[in-house]
Amino acid sequence: MNKRIRSWTSIVVMSACYAASSFAAEDVSLLKDLTSVIALLGLPCGQVVSATEPKSNEHIATCTDGSRYRVFVNDQGRVVAQKQ
């Protein structure tokens, strides 16, 4: 019985570790993507350091210089960044 408990415990712990690392990887990827979008639109930012998603397909990006942008897809299907 002890072996079963230990094996299940290790499975649960390892699953939690893998899940946490995948969320962190997605977050870093999102920050890089938002940095690229803002730079391609010619807006001053530097690098995006944090982002929140208040709605589906909409992000609020905070840059290293303190500026914040609302990044979303408009009705014509174009990505837009509006200074907040």
Domain of residue 23, residue span: 2-83
For the segment 4-18, what is each residue's pLDDT rounded down to a tens digit?
A: 555 444 444 444 444
pTM above 0.85, yes or no: no
For residue 58, give the nearest of 37, 43, 40 by alpha carbon.
37
For the segment 47-60, what is each residue's pLDDT rounded down to a tens digit?
A: 999 998 888 889 99
Max CA pair span of the chain: 62
Number of structural domains the chain divides into = 1
Complete edge-to-edge strand list for the sheet that includes strand 68-73: 48-55, 58-63, 68-73, 79-83
What average pLDDT does range 62-75 have in this prediction? 92
